[in-house]
Copies of this chain bind each other. A is one copy, B any other.
Amino acid sequence: MLVEVRKENPLIHCMTNVVVTNFTANGLLALGASPVMAYAKEEVADLASVAGALLLNIGTLSKEQIDQMIVAGQAANRAGVPVVLDPVGAGATAFRTESSQRILDQVNISVLRGNAGEIASLVGVEAKVKGVDGNMEGDKLALAKRAAKQFQCVCVVTGEVDVVTDGISAHSIHNGHAWMTKVVGTGCLLGGVIAAFIAVTPNDCLGATTSAVTYYGIAGERAYEKTSGLGIGAFQQAFLNELQLVTDQQIEQLKKTETL
């Protein structure tokens, strides 16, 4: 599926947070997609409606930015452009939970990506979230399925094991490396990568998302292997390299996925 992304270079309209915007753009370029970052209410509808997919990430949200995301999301919906939502830090503050809910109420989301704490807060399950990297105990699959059904989308719950489901079928992905959590924005960039995969396979959102998450985890594993012992700066650079270098053949060999 990677080969299609690299061939089509889908335009991904990213409305993401100021911490990860450069990393997201460089990661999408490394993958082979064409990122465009735009936030102004005067233009987001124009861009979202011609993009291959739209990424909404609330990492450094303001009320105004959420308003702009809704304008963009509704334009994407009208144009049939898939929308990925990353509700960063939902559960950590009431403002984040409510803002995520506001987007979910007003925009049709194709894929919702979060860690267990974030997703739990959106479906109303009790979960303690620390900062934006929250995790939780409990049944991740049940949580993902509940969110997928409630919001009528594909839901990805990331963590040591990632779960992807449309509410009926589900896959777990055991690829990835713990050091990915030590580079800021790896979760946020994954949202962009998912957007790029669904842009070229809009009719198989579950499959595209599973492929995106698998590819991403394999890139992280390879980056760690190539820089073991050097440190997190070297890993970060190698991860960008691998996003560019990983092939569909390598994914076939290295993937550790299960149908649940």
Interface residues of A (CB under 8 A from B): 11, 17-23, 25-26, 29-30, 34-40, 42-43, 46-47, 59-63, 89, 92-96, 130-133, 182-185, 230-234, 236-245
Of the listed residues A22, A62, A233, the one surrounded by the most CB atoms of chain B closer than 10 A to its CB is A233
Contacts of A130 in B (CB 8 A): 11, 34
Residue of B nearest to A181 (CB): B29
Min Cβ gap A46→B in Å is: 5
How many whole Å from A96's CB to the nearest CB in chain B? 7
Q: Which of B93, B231, B242 contacts A240 (CB 8 A)?
A: B231
Query: In the complex, which of the residues B22, B40, B60, B244 contacts A19, with contact meaning CB atoms closer than 8 Å?
Result: B22
Alpha-carbon gap, A244 to B232, bound state (A): 7
**Residue of B whose beta carbon sits closest to that of A36:** B131
- Sample of 23 A–B contacts (CB below 8 Å): A11-B130, A18-B18, A18-B21, A19-B25, A22-B22, A22-B184, A26-B184, A29-B183, A29-B232, A30-B182, A30-B231, A30-B233, A34-B130, A38-B60, A40-B62, A43-B96, A46-B93, A47-B92, A231-B240, A231-B244, A233-B240, A233-B241, A233-B244
CA distance A34 to B236 in the complex (A): 17
Residues of B within 8 A of A42 (CB): 63, 93, 95
Closest 5 CB pairs of A and B: A231-B241, A233-B240, A233-B237, A25-B184, A43-B95
Chain B neighbourhood of A47, CB < 8 A: 92-93
Copies in the complex: 3
- A39's closest neighbor in chain B, by CB? B60
Q: Which of B93, B131, B182, B236 contacts A43 (CB 8 A)?
A: B93
For residue A41, give the distance in angstroms from its CB to the closest CB of chain B: 8
Residues of B within 8 A of A34 (CB): 130-131, 133
Contacts of A93 in B (CB 8 A): 38, 42-43, 46-47
Query: In the assembly, what is the distance between CA of A92 and CA of B233, in Å?
Result: 33
